[in-house]
Structure 1
Amino acid sequence: MRALLSTFSLQELRHHPWRNASAVVAVMLGVALAFAVHLINASALAEFSSAVSSVNGQPDVELRARQGPLDDALLARVAAHPGVALASPVLEDPVQALARDGERLGAKLVGVDALVVAGLSPALMPVTDGENTTRRFDLFAPDTVFLNAAAQQAFAGQTTVRLQNGAVLRVAGRVNAPGAPLLVMDVAAAQALMDRVGQLSRIDLRLASGARASEVLAALDLPPNVIAQRPEQSGERVSNLSRAYRVNLTVLALVALFTGAFLVFSVLSLSVARRQPQFALLGVLGLSSRERLRLVLAESALLGLLGSALGIALGTALAALALRLLGGDLGGGYFSGVAPPLLWSPLAATVYLLLGVVAALVGGWWPAQATARLAPALALKGLGAPPRPGARRHTLALALVLLAAAMAWAPPVAGIPLAAYVSVGLLLVGGIAALPLGVGWLLDRIAPRVARHALPVLAVERARRLRETAAVATSGVVASLALSVALTVMVASFRDSVTHWLDAVLPAQLYVRSVGSGAGDGSHLPTGFVTAVAGVPGVARVDTLRATPVQLAPERPAIALLTRPLERTTGGTLSLPLVGNPLPAPAVPEGEQRVVTVYVSEAMVDLYGARPGSWLPALAQAFAEPQVRGTRFFVAGVWRDYARQHGSVVMDRADFVRLTGDARVNDLALHLAEGADENAVRERIRALAEAQGAANAIEFASVGQIRANSLRIFDRSFAVTVWLQAVAIGIGLFGVAASFSAQVLARRREFGLLAHLGLTRSQILGVVALEGLAWTVLGALAGLALGLAVSLVLVHVVNPQSFHWTMDLVLPWARLLALCAAVVVAGTLTAWLAGQAAASRDAVRAVKEDW
């Protein structure tokens, strides 16, 4: 019996390859996209983590400052402790180097002590060129530099490297560190070169045998602004930095697989309906309902296995191509500059293979249940199956929607909105389960309006009487269109919010920034230059900006401390895009601790609990200056910051300078005088910079350029979602084509009878096209309604829980209606093309099959 059933399933797949191919292709595309995104992210993350691990080495403990540089006076005290076997000082600074053609190339300058670095970070150990022993002193020379492989490729053929500050360094050898371009030199030489004498980025420690890190750190009694961390926490920070982006991309890729499950459901439902007499005969011959259930599930598993196997192969090819052409970035900017090799994982391939099979099994479950409920005797007599409990199904659909609404309120799990994703899935399943009810309600109101027109009556009445079939055929379109509508609304809302945010944070017409300031706080504008810019003709006012990374927690990425003038506008509002109204700072009695008002981004509320009206004690520990530790930082408000996902704090510049005595700045915002020519002001400032020897240390950007670059980065980040939407819509339309192809082949007798009654071939095609129009219109309306519901979850739950920022809901009606219209036109055309084959058959022969 088992061999007979296997033969029965294989013959069905063999004799109807095109219809079953649609389900296989849907599963294949879903698995391929999801697996490709996983491979790209895993490869990029592994390469980036490997590079960080190689550069940072494998010390037992790393000492870093929470904010700013580390005082190298700490090195001698740490190295002298008996529990410390090795102490390696490291200075890291992002720099801009000039290639031969004058192009600026970003790199990282790393200063190390060649006498101890090999014991802790062997990848950073400089290796001199040649065998001449006198070249060994190049390790300590103040004008020599050693390049890693990426830097050697970037400066191919150059014997010297010129930095943006005018320094010229001689290439004396190489280092074996992987990753982005590195320029390695002696730490003392690097301190002098970058004007950072007495400063370090970190101290790597190798403990003596038997020494415990907790005991050594307690004995060292480190200052409060020094943080000790395990080396693996650097990898954790890298992973946390891009985790939300990677998870969301993976979920979006699984959208195609989710749509493929509905297509398997559609194909198998129609296949089961067409083969009802065969299943009835098998039932009469002794095949039990459980065995019929397993038979259909075996067919769905076979479709899923075939599609998944092809998807793994296609996904591997797509990932390899994307890594070669685009690197591991995928638009997010987290792995910029990294072009990693493909990291293929058998375990991941097995997981995604099983996901595809599970999706196919889920899609085949309901058709299998229908087969199990079949009454063989009634089906053989042509009396069909017993009526399905529609009311119970509609109750289940409503319950799923209510459960989805409840799940949307659940908190994230480990920073990932798992409940929100489940809510989206339940919304889609519940909405599609209620499709027959919506189809019947709408067609009951359309039918009286077309009663006088023969062809529309035929199309509408058939869809009306067979609403279950209509719901099955359009389920793929509804799922794919709903998700596409939701993603369109989410992206439009995000882009509109970012546009308004840029208007608020870019009030000036022209901006001057220090070269390399985007990578940290290692580059500043010369103090004399900043003072002189205010006197340039055409400049009405100069606002300064300082961005400093601050490490509040060792396992999380650093937050940004922004210091800028916080002035209220003429209307009394603060010049920040605040969420809500700011709170006044509490009054402090004379002689008590000083209070400084700060404003935090939305991410600080979620990650650190810094709510308005609370205090931020961790910020005081980040400063080395003792006077800051007697200061309390009051959170007066929350502001939207779409540029820094992991948190930022804004402090008035006057407060920062008063507390630290540090008046250095990274950027200048220039408010031009009325009628001033922007280009003329640029030339005057450029001439001023050349006169002060800072021409290579500054760069200009107009507000229009910054806006355009920001929006271009935004569009690049969401380019992948556009392709995923297109694939999901394509799969949905493929499902409509498969459904109509199966139905028109099964309706040959009906078309033959219509031809005998006098309908022409074009009229029969018109009926099929009108049915396709009716069904895709219903699918478009249902998909639009479901998509708008899902978009509420994406905008108000998924994004705040994933990226810790909020946005205003925007409905781009023109784009949404165009999307729905395109689906309706494509679905109607697909139905018309599917009807060509059946309508072209000989009418007499088709009718004779029923005699």
Structure 2
Amino acid sequence: MLALLRTFSWQELRHHPWRNAAAAVAVMLGVALAFSVHLINASALGEFASAVRAVNGQPDLELRSVQGNLDESLFARAATHPQVVLASPVLELSTYAIAPGPDRRRVPVRVVGVDALTVAAMSPALMPLPAPGADRLALLAPSTVFLNPAAMAALVPGGLAGASGPSLQLQSALALRAVSVAGTVNAPGAPLVVMDIGAAQDLFGAAGRLSRIDLRLQPGTDRSAFIASLRLPAGVTAGEPGDAAERVSNLSRAYRVNLTVLALVALFTGAFLVFSVLSLSVARRAQQFALLGVLGLTPRQRLRLVLVESLLLGAAGSAAGIALGTALAALALRLLGGDLGGGFFAGVAPPLQWEGAAALLYGLLGVAAAGVGGWWPARAAQHLPPAQTLKGLGAALQTGQHRAVPLLLIAAGVLLAQTPPVAGIPLAAYVSVGLLLVGGITALPWLIGLTYDRLAPWVSRRLLPLLAVERARRVRESAAVAVSGVVASLSLAVALTVMVASFRDSVTHWLDVVLPADLYVRAAMGTGAADTVYFPPELVREVAKLPGVKRLATQRFVPLQLDPARPAVALISRDGDGMGRGTALVGEALPVPEGQIGIWVSEAMVDLYGARPGQVFAPLSAFFRPGPSAEQSFSATFFVAGVWRDYARQSGAIVIDRHDYERLTGDRRVNDLALWLADGADAAQVQAAVRRAAGSGAPGADGLDTGLEFASAAQIRATSLRIFDRSFAVTYWLQAVAIAIGLFGVAASFSAQVLARRKEFGLLAHLGLTRRQILAVVAGEGAAWTAIGALAGLLLGLAVSVVLVKVVNPQSFHWTMDLAAPWGRLLALCAAVVAAGTVTAWLSGRAAAGRDAVLAVKEDW
């Protein structure tokens, strides 16, 4: 009997390779996409964490400031503490390096100033290695730097020829300072420049300031008691050295999880395709199963037989998916680096880090998906009545469920959509999406009956449409099985289309609000270099007086570490002539009470820090301490006057009036300029005037090359939308894959059903229908079935899109958006599915409506 069962299953897989290949390919693509996304993100995160560990070294504690830099006097207190074995001061800066040569590439780099006496013991990867023939004490020399491999490749591709290295330029404010390359360091990661901490302080005007202090403690030291004994000033925190990598991991976690879930869309669709293929296979082989039952095969053995077939399909698809996913990940890392569009690992080019445990997990997911898809067909094979089935009775596919089941699934999905996230991940929302899809698909027989019961009277006098509609009505379970794969894929494609369109539409409107000026001038590309690359106050005043400039507004970016476990919050100081201008406010702004300072927070601040409108945001007060040039010394109270949408920073942003910020800190530096031009002013002439002012107004501008970036609102808008489209490129591919799998499933389902209906076609031919008419009936069935599938997919997709837009995105990224349905694209998508299903049914019918179909009728004579 065992040999007979093996032969039975093998013959089924061998004689119907294309239909079974459809299910295996669906599983393969799902596993490949999910596994490749995991490998890319794991490789990028591992490389980033490795670089952070190399740069941070192996201290026990790090002292950092939540605002700006540390005062150097704190180092003396920490270094002389009896429980401190070693203290190492570090100055970290982000700036731009200008490569030598005619092209003068402007490369963003990270500058790390270290103490030559402690760096080898604390951070070996930052220990300078002088070039052959160079002075061993070159690290102590002013204006001397050492580059890591990434910086060498970007700035000195030819390498170091001798003791006298090439000369580079590092940007400080708008001036370029010449430095010479004396050697290398072994630190991995993005371009890194290492120099003596004193030389770095002098070069960047940071005398007396530190970024962090690394501490190594006596063995057995109680860290909590030690931190308390230091009596750290307000705004200084002591954290673990791995906090930086952990913060980036937490920041990118939502993006990684969402990408993985979207990649599993193909696997979810594959489960329905396995269900469809095996359901039709069981229906076609019903009499064979019945004969095996008469020969002694028990119902449980029939169940196991179909399950084994589904698991074999899943195993084959998973094995191929792991191989394909590895190849896709390697190709993506080679071509795109570690950044899949989220911007979290920009500049990181990691090698592929293959994980056997992850490969096993995703392979098992593929097998499990195939097993779940094969469970219901296996149950159908188990419950076949052998005697009735052998007589041609009871062999019809029975998958109908009580009407309450889909309603309960949909209701549970709606309730779960209201559940808050778990550890910042919308797990309940993902389950809600799954329940909505399963509930909607299980309701297909009811939807088919509801639709075609009302359509039947309209076609009762037309033979060919009547045959197509009546078959859909009478075998609604088979119709539901045939289109379940396309419903799953189409609904998810519709949901992703609506989500991306809503996001893009919201970003477009947001850009229209936040870009009110005619011309924008930027000194630094991001907040990381905001303290190093900036406009001096005297230059801002000079630009405001230039001909053609009607009005000028400024912005200053400062990172604030409000929570050591989270990424820094962006504090934005800007001109406050009505803070609603240039900020996409959600609701109305509140009046600021007398004696308090108004702030406007992004939506992420509300979710992550509880900064609600009308309340005092106490955490910010603790981190404002007056700078050396501040006019007053007082404790400020910050009132949340409004909430605004910020699609640029998911970790949170706070807007404060420029005058309030300068009064509290004494910091008058500026990072961005917004210029409103006078009527008739030429933008190119204004740009040239700003460049001339920057060249003459920047102090110490030896070898000046400002590197200023000018852009109009339209240019920034176009660039931002191009970045947006690149970020969602993976999503677009996932949509295409899901639709392709669904259509492949329709083709497999119709092929199986049409080939199994040769006797029916033969009978119709004997009754006088021509081959063309039979093909018209088959095509009509295809149109009828895929039309109801397209309708169900559209409705389900719209329901899922509401969950994605209104629940998943706010819970994952802490921003809201307006729902926008691109009806033209959605209807075109549905029309394409119906057309593909109709053509597929017609092509399948051609193979079964010929002479063989007529001869097949003799089998019943």
Does structure 1 residue 512 correspond to structure 2 residue 517? no
Secondary structure of the structure 1 residue equivalent to 2:121? helix
User: How far is the alpha carbon of 1:754 from its aligned partner?
Assistant: 2.5
Match of 1:161 in 2: 168
1:190-589 correspondence to structure 2 within 5 Å: 190-385=200-395, 390=400, 392-522=401-531, 523-568=533-578, 575-587=582-594
Residues of 2 paired with 1:713 and 1:306: CA distance? 38
Deviation for aligned residue 1:517 = 4.5
Contact 1:600 1:638 in 2 (8 A): yes
In the alignment, is the contact (CA less than 8 A) between 2:279 and 2:397 conserved in 1?
A: no
Corresponding position: 1:170 with 2:180: yes
- CA pair 840-320 structure 1, distance change in 2 beyond 3 A: farther
Equivalent-residue separation in structure 2 for 1:624 and 1:521 (angstroms): 19
Whole-angstrom CA distance in 1 between matches of 2:525 and 2:30:
41
- Indicate if the aligned counterparts of 2:30 and 2:321 stay in contact, CA closer than 8 A: yes
Q: What percent identity do the matched residue pairs reach?
A: 67
Larger CA deviation: 687-696 vs 697-706: 687-696
Aligned partners of 1:517 and 1:666 also within 8 Å: no
Q: Distance in 1 between matches of 2:581 and 2:279?
A: 61
CA–CA separation in structure 2 for the residues paired with 1:306 and 1:387: 27
Between 359-368 and 426-435, report the one with greater CA deviation: 359-368
Cα deviations by residue, 1:243-262 (Å, 9 ceiling, x for unpaired)? 11100000000000000000
Hey, what does 2:162 align to over in structure 1? none
Q: Is residue 397–residue 477 contact of structure 2 (8 Å, CA) maintained in 1?
A: no
Aligned mates of 2:366, 2:711 — CA distance in 1: 49
Question: How far does residue 827 in structure 1 lie from its aligned partner after superposition?
Answer: 1.8
State the shift of 1:3 in Å: 4.2
What is the distance in 1 between the residues matched to 2:474 and 2:503?
A: 43
Deviates more, 1:545-554 or 1:824-833: 824-833
Find the aligned partners of 1:341 and 1:629 in 2 and give their Cα distance.
51
SS at match of 1:839: coil
Inter-partner Cα distance in structure 2 for 1:239 and 1:846: 64
Aligned-residue CA RMSD (Å): 1.7
1:640 is matched with 645
After superposition, give the CA deviation of every residue in 1:186-242 in whole Å (9 maximum; x if it has no partner).
Answer: 111111111211111111111123323222221211111111110121221010121
Task: Tell me which amino acid in the other structure corresponds to 2:91.
Answer: L
The residue correspondences of 1:781-800 to structure 2 (distance < 5 A) are: 781-800=791-810
Aligned to 1:151: 151
Q: Distance in 1 between matches of 2:335 and 2:776?
A: 46
Kindly provide the amino acid, as one letter, of the partner of residue 725 in structure 2.
D
**Alignment partner, residue 622 of structure 2:** 621
Deviations 1:40-85 (A, max 9, x none): 1111111111111111112100111101111122112211111111
Q: Structure 1, residues 463-486: CA drift from partner, whole Å, max 9, x if none? A: 221111111110011010100111
Deviating more after overlay: 606-615 vs 40-49: 606-615
Aligned partners of 2:599 and 2:640 also within 8 Å: yes
Contact 1:520 1:548 in 2 (8 A): no
Q: 2:725 maps to which residue? A: 715
- Letter in structure 1 aligned against 2:672: D
Residue 109 of structure 1 aligns to a residue whose secondary structure is strand
Q: Distance in 1 between matches of 2:498 and 2:859?
A: 51
Name the amino acid aligned to 1:40.
Answer: I
> Aligned partners of 1:363 and 1:624: how far apart in 2?
62
1:577 Cα deviation from its structure 2 partner = 1.4
Aligned length: 839
Which sections of structure 2, spanning at least 5 residues, go unmatched?
A: 160-165
Per-residue deviation, 1:515: 3.4
Instruction: State yes or no: 1:759 paired with 2:769.
Output: yes
**720 and 665 in structure 1: CA distance in 2 versus 1, 3 angstrom threshold:** same
Letter in 2 for 1:567: D
Q: Bigger CA drift: 505-514 or 755-764?
A: 755-764
Q: How does 1:653-668 map to 2 (within 5 A)?
A: 653-668=658-673
Q: Is the 8 A contact 1:63 1:203 kept in 2?
A: yes
Correspondence for 1:590: none
Note the 1:33-182 alignment, pairs <5 A.
33-99=33-99, 100=101, 101-130=103-132, 135-155=135-155, 156-157=157-158, 159-164=166-171, 165-182=175-192
Distance 2:753 2:21 in 1: 16
Kept after mapping to 1: 8 A contact 2:527/2:570: no
TM-score, normalised by the number of residues in structure 2? 0.95
Correspondences of 1:584-595 after superposition (within 5 Å): 584-587=591-594, 594-595=595-596
Query: 1:585-634: CA deviations, max 9, x gaps?
Result: 345xxxxxx52111111111111111112222221222332866621111
Secondary structure of the structure 2 residue equivalent to 1:177: coil
Give the superposition deviation at 1:500.
Answer: 1.0
* Segment of structure 1 superposing worse, 810-819 or 151-160: 151-160
Structure 2: distance between partners of 1:697 and 1:65: 29
Q: Distance in 2 between matches of 1:833 and 1:115?
A: 79
1:430 to partner: Cα distance: 0.2
CA positional deviation for 1:584: 2.6
Q: Deviation of residue 338 (structure 1)?
A: 1.1
What is the one-letter code of the residue matched to 1:597? G
Q: State the distance in 2 between where 1:9 and 1:842 align.
A: 25
Q: Is the 8 A contact 1:733 1:827 kept in 2?
A: yes
CA deviation profile, 1:621-672 (whole Å, cap 9, x unmatched): 2233286662111112211111110111111111111111211111111111
Provide, for residues 421-477 of structure 1, a one-character-per-residue CA deviation record: whole Å limited to 9, x for no partner: 000000000000000111111112222222333322222221221111111110011
**Residue matched to 2:820:** 810
1:721-764 deviation line (CA, Å, top 9, x unaligned): 00000000000000001001111111112222223333333332
Aligned equivalents of 1:247 and 1:16: distance in 2? 37
Distance 1:345 1:779 in 2: 39
Partner of 2:163: none
2:131 is matched by which residue type in structure 1? D
SS at match of 1:67: coil
Pairwise CA distance, 1:278? 1.2
Tell me, in whole angstroms, the C-alpha distance in 2 between the residues paired with 1:180 and 1:836.
60
The verdict on how the C-alpha distance between 1:746 and 1:661 changes in structure 2, with shifts beyond 3 A counting, is same
TM-fit CA distance, 1:686: 1.3
Q: CA separation in 1, counterparts of 2:399 and 2:788? A: 22
Choose the corresponding residue for 1:705, options 678, 696, 715. 715
Instruction: Rate the CA distance shift 1:810–1:726 in 2: closer, same or farther, 3 A.
Output: same
| Cα distance between partner residues in 2 of 1:755 and 1:44 | 63
**Alpha-carbon distance, 1:414 to partner:** 0.3
Tell me, in whole angstroms, the C-alpha distance in 2 between the residues paired with 1:213 and 1:131: 44
Q: Which runs of 4+ in 1 moved over 4 A?
A: 385-390, 626-629
Q: Residues 389-447 of structure 1, C-alpha deviation per residue, up to 9 Å, x if partnerless?
A: 84x53210000000000000001000000000000000000000000111111112222
SS of the residue 2:384 aligns to? coil
**What letter is aligned with 2:108?**
G
1:386, CA displacement in angstroms? 8.6
Deviates more, 1:415-424 or 1:306-315: 306-315
Give 3-state SS (helix, strand or coil) of 1:443's partner.
Answer: helix
Which shows bigger deviation, 753-762 or 730-739?
Answer: 753-762
Tell me the distance in 1 between the aligned counterparts of 2:513 and 2:525.
24
CA distance in 1 between partners of 2:624 and 2:680 (Å): 43
Q: Distance in 2 between matches of 1:732 and 1:495?
A: 26
CA-CA distance at 1:102 after TM superposition: 2.0
